[in-house]
A and B are shown apart, each in its own frame.
Chain A
Amino acid sequence: MSIFERFTEGWKKYRKPGYYREFDYHWAMTIDLDKCTGCEACVTACKAENNLPIVGEEEFAKGREVQWIRIERYWEGEYPNVKLGFIPMLCQHCDAAPCETVCPVSATYHNQDGLNTQIYNRCIGTRSCAVYCPFEVRYFNFNDHHWDSPLDQQLNPDVTVREKGVMEKCTFCIQRIRQAKDDAKDDGRRRVRDGEVQPACVQSCPSNALVFGDRKDPDSQVAKSMKDPRAYRVLEELNTDPSVVYLKKVDAKG
């Protein structure tokens, strides 16, 4: 193939409108706030699965905790007519992610699965992605982390331990996605079936508030639940096109 042919082919490919939205899979999550109880099982599951550091009291007090998924709480009203709404907040895997444009070294980018990925060993730690992220779900490793022996024996060998100076965030448990794809390939299938892969948070959620799947597959549970009339996205006005969709909490009167 001549250089010219290669050029024209590439030109055609990338001139197609919306080529950047053509993903192999389009992993997405819905979170039903009507089911979420704020129990934080997802938070613990994430810590266990993804080798999140134990930062210690001092660092925590400085605001340097690492929680790829966290529960935010918003009170409404005053006593006695007071309500509390929980909302799990994790990387929204935006399809128009501000963090991806700002990284000077492309350490964070969108991959073929529609995931917003973070390449730890490319990261130089400018922390600008954390500033650009309106959901504030990016966590920086301010120090090297330490696990008091033998707590380190728990570390998941499928997930790297991040060193000081790099940014990290939710990956939708990409190691599990990888495993599911490998399994599908071993089975002679082209695609992962719905329900075959679940991130740790979805897996653990005791009230099944979290649903994960491929939204390109119209029959998947997640695609269906995204069509729910209660579906909305947080900070929709910023137009970052998140892949995490929330289902409104039902507030029935009477």
Chain B
Amino acid sequence: MQAETNDLQYADVNNDIVRSIVETGPRYYVALGIAGGVALLCFFFPWFYQLYFGIGAAGLNHPGVWGTYLASFIFWIGLSHSGTLLSCVLHLTNSSWRKAMYRSAEAMTLFSLMVAATFVMVHVGRPWFIHWALPYANQMEMWPNFRSPLLFDVMAIATYLTGSSIFIYMGSIPDFAAVRDRTTGWRNTMYTLLSLGWRGTDREWHRLHWAYTFLAVLIIPLAVSVHSIVSWDFAMSLVPALHQTIFAPYFVVGAIYSGTAGIVTVMFVLRRYMNFEQYITKVHFDNLGKLLLLLSLIWTYINMVELFTAWYSDTSTEHEALSYKLFGYYAWLYWEMIAFCAVAPLLCISGRFRTSMVPMLILSIAINIGMYTERFLIVGTSLSRQYLPDSWGVYVPSLVEMSIILGSFALFTTLFLIFVKIFPSVSIYEVKETMDTPTVTSNAEPIAPPEGSPA
């Protein structure tokens, strides 16, 4: 990594990154316009239609009362996973290659969580009463049901959202200050407020590092618990094929897996369209490729365990659910998922593949399509084959649902596009830390080459 950034000077870093915030070309506005427009047209418009008409606008039925909205919810939660989690883990292990990409990864976490939270609103029948799921003091002394895994979910996500927001914000303070110093006008005012009077003293750096590490340690278990809890929404039901102990690790691995793939996609876009070639390098893709390979193997293993448990249970209910998954109405989706998430990532064995940008982009998108499918299958196929065969049925998503799924990506993109114009999307100070410079005075973090660092 050092090799590639050798010719960069501190000033270049500052200039490059501040430029990405201040200078806005027409391409950006076109992109924002398209993303915002699609979000409005494909997400909000169908959603309002659904609010007016009722959940019947979706293809839901009996017994398929849960559908793509919930699948999307899990998907976005999952996508959120790698961002902050990965950033924390890498921070604690001092992996210097993390530094160019973690900001955008954390932003991804934040926005996927927001989109996921929106999907909760889309999912429920009466979103105008959604606040009832929150434990707020009220005159009727009506409290939510603390036994409900759904309520655990609300809590877990709220905590995760709060934690991630603080984490990304805290890590950005020095950068806000850097941008503050180079901007004028309303931007200056804004960054003055955001940087909380950061001056860059040793004391400040010290505190920042301490707090940052503390938060990183805190967030790792939180990230694991969030998806475990999401999995309990399913695993705590009696539905055959959902009622499984493997679900918590399954969901966590799946989440990190899809999140990592998501980071690859985002990094590709940033690199290509935000002119960050010098910061986001092949090394990043190489490392993430290895991570993807590892995760795909774990994921495949868990999937096989799931199949085995269903077969080994030797009950009619589990067998029917299993054979429906493998050979039923949605079997093609299952095999598509296997192809995308279990087979395709094996390509990452090859180093050449890992360092080729476009193939990695395609793989990362394929993995996320596969992971979306997985979430859909968990909801869709299991509900189709429950205990009473005479109540079996098939659920097929409607156009409104398809449109909202599509729109959610546009919504995510819109949020991300707004983000890159506010936050320095690559961490200024941490990139600098990786650069060859005459060492500094303070007792701030030493720049010793981190152990196991790929560079």
Contact = CB atoms under 8 A, between A and B. Distances in A.
Contacts of B209: none
Contacts of A135: 387-388
Interface in A195-222: none
Contacts of A104: 133, 144-145, 148, 150-151, 154
A134 B238 contact: yes
Interface stretch (B51-59, B305-313, B324-332): B51-59
A97 to B, nearest CB: 11
A134 B390 CA distance: 12
Contacts of B230: none
Per DSSP, chain A at the interface is loop
A143 interface: yes
Contacts of A101: 145, 147-148, 236
Contacts of A62: 59, 61
A108 to B, nearest CB: 9
A72 B391 contact: yes
B126 interface: yes
A167 B387 CA distance: 20
Given A72-B390, A106-B144, A127-B65, A164 B236 contact: no
A98 interface: yes
B62 A65 contact: yes
A72 B388 contact: yes
Interface stretch (A15-23, A38-46, A118-126, A178-186): A118-126
A105 B144 contact: yes
Contacts of B151: 104
B53 A103 contact: no
Contacts of B65: 127, 130-131, 140
A161 interface: no
B197 interface: no
A142 interface: yes
Interface in A78-112: 89, 98, 101-106
Contacts of A130: 62-63, 65
A79 to B, nearest CB: 20
A86 to B, nearest CB: 10
Contacts of A51: none
B123 interface: yes
B236 A102 contact: yes
Contacts of A127: 60, 65-66, 124-125
Q: Which of A101, A106, A135, A139 is packed against the most chain B CB atoms within 10 Å?
A: A106
B383 interface: yes
A123 to B, nearest CB: 7
A57 to B, nearest CB: 14
Contact of A143 (B54, B126, B236): B54
A240 B243 CA distance: 15
Nearest to B55: A142
Contacts, number: 142
B37 interface: no
Nearest to B63: A136
Nearest to B389: A74
Contacts of B145: 101, 103-106
Interface string B63-84: 1111000000000000000000
Contact of A165 (B126, B233, B239, B395): B126
A31 interface: no
Contacts of B130: 124
Given A59-B56, A102-B149, A89 B388 contact: yes
Interface residues of B, number: 45
B62 A63 contact: yes
A126 B388 contact: no
Interface in B12-65: 53-56, 59-65
B273 interface: no
A132 to B, nearest CB: 5
Interface in A135-151: 135-136, 139-144
Contacts of A37: none
Contacts of B53: 143, 164
Given A104-B133, A143-B56, A125 B390 contact: no
B49 to A, nearest CB: 12
Interface string A49-76: 0000000000100111100000011100
A136 B123 contact: no
A127 B149 CA distance: 13
Contacts of A166: 125-126
A180 B62 CA distance: 33
B9 interface: no
Nearest to A109: B145
Interface string A221-236: 0000000000000010
Contacts of B390: 72-74
B388 A141 contact: no
Nearest to B315: A237
A141 B125 contact: yes
Contacts of A59: 56
A63 B148 contact: no
A204 B315 CA distance: 37
B245 interface: no
Contacts of B233: 128
29 contacts: A63-B61, A63-B63, A63-B393, A64-B61, A72-B390, A89-B391, A102-B148, A104-B133, A106-B143, A106-B144, A122-B132, A123-B125, A123-B126, A124-B125, A125-B124, A125-B126, A126-B150, A127-B124, A130-B65, A134-B238, A135-B388, A140-B55, A140-B62, A140-B65, A141-B54, A142-B54, A143-B53, A166-B126, A238-B238
Given A105-B145, A122-B142, 14 more contacts: A63-B61, A106-B145, A124-B126, A124-B129, A124-B130, A125-B124, A128-B66, A131-B66, A134-B386, A136-B62, A140-B55, A142-B54, A144-B54, A165-B124
- Lowest 3 CB-CB distances: which A-B pairs, in order? A125-B125, A165-B125, A63-B61
Interface of B: 53-56, 59-66, 123-127, 129-130, 132-133, 142-145, 147-151, 154, 233, 236-239, 383, 386-391, 393, 395
